[in-house]
Chains A and B, each alone.
Chain A
């Protein structure tokens, strides 16, 4: 009898605890019991990936510091000088952009949480050498006509379309794997079923397919822009494991050996906490991890019509050919 009473009391206590837990973390669930991540989300923020040097040793802002930081950020952006190229180039002076006005609600001073200094670890010496050699090859090629300025502001080869950066080719803005905010359209639509999760990244209409099964990644010879993803649940967290990146797709210096681990945890009705770990031993001296919230957003995603009307590529290539012809004609004159 005494044993039975203890048993009843214990069960009662556990149910109470469970009920309490449920009310605190009331998150929607799919019929199979997993957290429901579906919907439209945004991760727009002014929190930088790396902690600024002047915030060294400071992991979180105080609420007062948040106000000051956001105000200063806005002030710097609102410099408006009419009739300048900068005003035009800044595309309407942030008036039309949507790159955020607030820091993340966790009040972190950087997205990077590991290393603890909030900054990316150095690239390996081999990777540094490789990138330097690639840059040197570009410089060498561009000593002769036929190069055009890239988005970085430096000239790059324009012998064929595949010489040009992925952005100009409308292939990727390198913001989808991992999912990090950019200048605007920081919107993601997640569609979830028991065996598959799809994420539509509005910029630039990149759809990530993530099978939730025990299958292995594709053979390593198969390389894609967004890599090859597999998902599994660890408790209430969706873990996405991605490999097989195309060597041309580099995230902050990563190479084709990038192994990206992303963790999506729906922490409340309005938030998914997004954590990503960059594991690439041939590119970085150690793995590094970042975190930022994705917040529920209103509205729908629009198709990003990047290719349609993209006359830039034709103009870039024809401009490079014109430069070559002009240089050849001048050489003949001499």
Chain B
């Protein structure tokens, strides 16, 4: 784990679209599209909570200190239907999270993609070969 925080890349801000009808909270209110972030770290624990599970990872900072980040995920059954079980993310697993930073400045992000360090994707979310990866 050489480089914990690989870096944030700026994106293009767009007008806030109406939140999906079924979303309980507007994700765009919680996470910042201007602050994409890539985090590499070690899983410390997983909270299986409805409506959103959380993956907690320890990320080593450039100065050698360690920060615990919480990554917001889908509901336990959404993960389960995609083949993710309690055995998929044991403590100690090294993962890369590609997501967006929380607006409130806390050490939280949403998980847009989660990838094992060897490049293997954890979830099989998309079946579309044309999708931008």
Contacts and interface: CB of A to CB of B under 8 A. Distances in A.
Interface of A: 42, 44, 74-75, 77-98, 101, 151-153, 167, 173, 182-185, 187, 202, 204-205, 298-299, 301-306, 312
Interface of B is mostly: loop
B104 to A, nearest CB: 11
Interface in B10-46: 10-28, 31-34, 36
Given A153-B19, A182-B22, A92 B14 contact: no
Contacts of B26: 89
A98 B19 contact: no
Contacts of A301: 77
B130 interface: yes
Contact of B9 (A75, A83, A84, A305): A83
A305 B73 CA distance: 15
Given A95-B112, A98-B82, A80 B22 contact: no
A305 B110 contact: no
14 contacts: A80-B133, A83-B34, A83-B36, A86-B17, A91-B20, A92-B74, A98-B74, A98-B78, A151-B19, A153-B19, A184-B51, A202-B50, A299-B81, A302-B49
Given A151-B19, A182-B22, 10 more contacts: A75-B130, A78-B130, A91-B23, A92-B74, A95-B125, A96-B74, A153-B18, A183-B22, A185-B51, A299-B81
Nearest to B100: A88
A176 to B, nearest CB: 14
Contacts of A173: 22, 24
A312 B36 contact: no
Range class of the B interface residue count: 35 or more
Nearest to B28: A89
A304 B128 contact: no
- Give the secondary structure class of A's interface: loop
Nearest to A74: B128
B55 to A, nearest CB: 12
Nearest to B133: A80
Contacts of B81: 42, 44, 98, 299
A184 B11 contact: no
B73 A96 contact: yes
B112 A93 contact: yes
Contacts of B20: 89-91, 183
A151 B29 CA distance: 13
Given A202-B77, A299-B80, A302-B75, A89 B131 contact: no
Most chain B CB inside 10 Å of its own CB: which residue of A81, A83, A298:
A83
Contact of B31 (A88, A93, A306): A88
B27 to A, nearest CB: 5
Given A167-B24, A183-B20, A86 B11 contact: no
